[in-house]
Amino acid sequence: MTHPGRVAPNHTHPRDVPLIVALAALADPIRLAMVRELSGMEEWQLTCGAFDVPVGKAARSHHFAVLREAGVIEQRDEGPCRVNRLRRPEFDERFPGLLDLVLRPEFDQPGTSREAS
């Protein structure tokens, strides 16, 4: 056995994810874009290759693994493709408000809040 082409992805439930792991998973621009894109879709509707991120499929696969092990996403094989789902409810129960924060694209630019003084 050299290359195990199709193995069942090993998931981690958000319940078993330390906070640091969740933060580290979300503290990356590519993964952040993935999570946001996923949040705007129906569940199980976005295939791995369909994400609009500027990296090759190898790096993509790596990022999926990170997000999976951080309890952020869930994956399922559907024919030749692998489809994705944001673990919104489970993740929210474990880390309330974190996904809400992350899904606001206006937090990328500085000074977006109505500043005073």
Q: Which two tokens stand for residue 69?
A: 């092990």
Cβ 1 to DNA, closest distance in Å?
Answer: 6
**β-bridge mates for residue 81, sequence order:** 78
Q: What is the contact surface with DNA in residues (CB under 7 A)?
A: 1-7, 9, 24, 28, 30, 47-50, 54-66, 75, 77, 79-82
79 binds, among DNA, its own copies, none (CB under 5 to 8 A by kind): DNA
Q: Looking at beta carbons only, is 6 or 114 nearer to its own copies? A: 114
Q: Measuring CA to CA, which residue among 95, 103, 96 is closest to residue 41?
A: 103
Q: Which two tokens stand for residue 24?
A: 């580290």
